[in-house]
């Protein structure tokens, strides 16, 4: 089952509703259904940007099944860009959600994929990347 604590309020709301509708035990299927519910359902309390951020977080959670590893990734990228795909670093060429150097894509989902690939190549896991970040202020 997906851990809902690190997700934002609107994702927890929709995921609770989606979990009732999903009969399969497959985590990937549940996450996909939640992503669809979030994408196609509007919440008067949530802004468009928070729904987008929730969608990005859910996409990343689908890619990282481990709740512990996802929580590390969420902490890391919240600090780096606050999950903003347009975030720019004033001191370097780092850009996007994962704040990768020389990133050219503006597609947030490609940014997430590239960020996860970078973490897997350099640090193996998001928690190891977060640990490195805590010591060096970069990853």
- Contact in structure between 129 and 72 (CB atoms under 8 Å): yes
Residues in the chain: 139
State CA 7 to chain mean position distance. Answer: 9
State CA 40 to chain mean position distance. Answer: 18
Write the pLDDT tens digit of every residue in 70-94: 999 999 999 999 999 999 998 899 9
**In angstroms, what CA-CA distances link 44 with 1, 41, 47, 57, 109?**
27, 10, 8, 20, 25
Rounded to two decimals, what is the model's pTM? 0.66
In which residue ranges of the chain is pLDDT below 50? 1-2, 14-24, 42, 44-45
49 and 110 assigned to the same domain: no
Look at residue 133 in the predicted model and tell me its pLDDT.
94
Domain boundary among 20, 41, 63: 63
Which residue range(s) make up the domain with 95? 66-139
Cα 88 from Cα 67, distance rounded (Å): 28
As for how many domains the chain has, the answer is 2
Look at residue 21 in the predicted model and tell me its pLDDT.
41
Look at residue 116 in the predicted model and tell me its pLDDT.
97
Look at residue 33 in the predicted model and tell me its pLDDT.
66
- Contact in structure between 112 and 73 (CB atoms under 8 Å): no
């Amino acid at each position: 089952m997906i851990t809902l604590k690190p997700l934002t309020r609107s994702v927890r709301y929709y995921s609770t509703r989606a979990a009732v509708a999903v009969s399969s035990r497959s985590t990937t299927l549940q996450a996909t259904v939640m992503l669809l519910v979030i994408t196609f359902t509007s919440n008067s309390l949530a802004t468009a940007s928070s729904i987008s951020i929730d969608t990005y977080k859910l996409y990343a959670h689908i890619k990282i099944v481990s709740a512990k590893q996802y929580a590390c990734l969420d902490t890391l990228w919240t600090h780096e860009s606050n999950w903003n795909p347009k975030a720019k670093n004033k001191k370097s060429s780092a850009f996007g959600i994962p704040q990768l150097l020389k990133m050219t894509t503006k597609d947030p989902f490609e940014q997430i994929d590239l960020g996860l690939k970078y973490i897997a190549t350099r640090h193996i896991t998001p928690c190891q990347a977060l640990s490195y970040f805590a010591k060096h202020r970069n990853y």
